[in-house]
Structure 1
Amino acid sequence: MFSTKSQLRKRTPENGTDRENYLSLLVDEYLNSSSLDAKCQVLANLANFAYDPINYCFIRDVGALDIFLYVLKNESNDKLVNFACGGISNLCLDPLNTTYILDSGILNLVPRLLKSGNTDIVASTLSIIIQIHNSLGKPELFNTYLKILKLNIKKSKMLSNRFPYIAMNNKNYQKICKLHTSTFNSVSFKAGDKIRIQKTLTQKDLDTFSNLTSDHNHLHKNNGNKRPIVHGALLNGLVAGLIGTHLPGPGTILVSQTMKFPNKCFVGEKLTISVELVDVRKILKVKFFCVVEEEKKVVFEGEAKLILAKDC
């Protein structure tokens, strides 16, 4: 869900770091880090912030958009490129960002990105094209890049059940659908669709989350012989990230949620976070789990009811 300025003020403690400064710190961390894992984590965070329109101007001002563009032009690592594509895809909803992105020469990069073996990169690139098409009103632009995908039938099939939802928020959705019917089949979500990732949370992750939320409970700190416990809300955020970016994906809005924490989750434990679609109607239903696989320990589980933005 999107934020307002008043909500940001309420969530920022009196002596806390405001949103613009926090994003600036993330940019500095990316620029000064030599660790690929750290760069991936920072870029993923920046891409998530790009989802909320209230952050658009901050992301431009602190140079995060320039980092996304630099990565697409100069980096070959799929993870970095994927996060950069996702961030730019979100930012293209803003006309000022779209103009800036076009001036950077991004259209010259699109053919290479569409030929990527990573379907997440291809899907995000298509989303970028859709948003630019929406701004420029040039269907020939969209058709040109679809021809590239037609050369790879296997990739087209893999994307066929994702592409319609990338376009869900687009006001020219029906027009765009007609452009891709020769390449993509209109496949709906189906019960049983799953997505999962693995992640290991560090003390730095907890400290960052504590500073952002003002939750400085000592249980989340390194306290002698006791291992720090991961915030329940942070686990919920990891699940929200999967729901909002992968399944069902961008445009998903939370209606209601039930959750429980059967066991404690400690810093350093390798988590498997999974989301499964269990009911497909106007209101979608998913179930989710966070599990420490080594111990077969469930630390977070629940269900959520969702709607897609087009139904609002």
Structure 2
Amino acid sequence: MQINRSKRLGKTLEEIEEGDSLSLTESIEDSQLLLYLGLTNDANPLYIQHDYAQDTEYQRPIVPSVMLMGIITSAISKHLPGPGSHVVNFSVNFIEPVYHYETLTFEFEVIKVDKMKDVVTISVEAVNVEDSRVLDAVVMVQPPAKKVSDELE
């Protein structure tokens, strides 16, 4: 099944420069948490049970780490480099827990363009509304390739 969508692709390797950046603010809502937990069949009580979480060091339910990684990969797929890109390596440090209903600001910056390996390296930092850093990540991304048909036009 092929869905006819716009042929807009993200930036190619030649169009990306070190220093390119993106800022994205996301709020973690119940609907997102429930979708994640339903899709993955993840019933970790630390993510959903207030009475359980209350007896842990976190004191209340936290957001699954994979959801935060999903926000990052989604931003890469949608914005930088954009549609057609592919994450080939992902390294992340979770510094502070993220709680339900928090709002996070993610800062993305291209720190390396490697034309030999056909990848860009993007650093990501996320902070909460108190400006506390909650995660750092380094993501290697293969940008969309220029299609042969584009070269013929």
Distance apart, 1:310 and its partner CA: 2.2
Contact kept? 2:113, 2:119, Cα under 8 Å: yes
Q: Which has the higher strand share?
A: 2
The separation in 2 between residues aligned to 1:260 and 1:267, in whole angstroms, is 19
The separation in 2 between residues aligned to 1:166 and 1:283, in whole angstroms, is 14
Distance apart, 1:247 and its partner CA: 0.3
The separation in 2 between residues aligned to 1:258 and 1:198, in whole angstroms, is 21
Task: State whether structure 2 residue 22 is matched by structure 1 residue 195.
Answer: yes
Distance apart, 1:309 and its partner CA: 3.8
Q: Which residue of 2 aligns with 1:259?
A: 92
- Secondary structure, aligned partner of 2:50: coil
The separation in 2 between residues aligned to 1:167 and 1:273, in whole angstroms, is 20
The separation in 2 between residues aligned to 1:167 and 1:286, in whole angstroms, is 14
- Detail structure 1 runs of 4+ shifted over 3 Å in the superposition: 165-168
Q: Provide TM-score, normalisation by structure 1.
A: 0.40
* Long gaps (5+) in structure 2: 147-153
1:300 corresponds to which of 104, 128, 135? 135
Contact kept? 1:242, 1:275, Cα under 8 Å: no
% same residue? 23
Task: State whether structure 2 residue 111 is matched by structure 1 residue 278.
Answer: yes
Letter in 1 for 2:34: D
Q: Which residue of 1 aligns with 2:45?
A: 218
What's the CA shift string for 1:75-126, capped at 9, x where partnerless?
Answer: xxxxxxxxxxxxxxxxxxx3xx43xxxxxxxxxxxxxxxxxxxxxxxxxxxx
- Secondary structure, aligned partner of 1:295: coil
Q: Provide TM-score, normalisation by structure 2.
A: 0.78
Letter in 1 for 2:30: Q
Contact kept? 2:127, 2:135, Cα under 8 Å: yes
1:209 corresponds to which of 36, 43, 47? 36
The separation in 2 between residues aligned to 1:220 and 1:309, in whole angstroms, is 35
Contact kept? 2:88, 2:141, Cα under 8 Å: yes
Letter in 1 for 2:73: A
Q: Which residue of 2 aligns with 1:147?
A: none
Alignment coverage as a number of residue pairs: 136
Contact kept? 1:203, 1:221, Cα under 8 Å: no
Distance apart, 1:246 and its partner CA: 0.3
Q: Which residue of 2 aligns with 1:114?
A: none
Letter in 1 for 2:89: S
- Secondary structure, aligned partner of 1:286: strand
C-alpha root-mean-square deviation of aligned residues, in Å? 2.3
Contact kept? 1:235, 1:290, Cα under 8 Å: no
Letter in 2 for 1:231: P
Q: Which residue of 2 aligns with 1:232?
A: 65
Q: 1:305 to 1:206 in 2, by over 3 A?
A: same
Q: Which residue of 2 aligns with 1:310?
A: 145
Letter in 1 for 2:80: L
* Long gaps (5+) in structure 1: 1-56, 58-93, 99-126, 132-162, 169-186
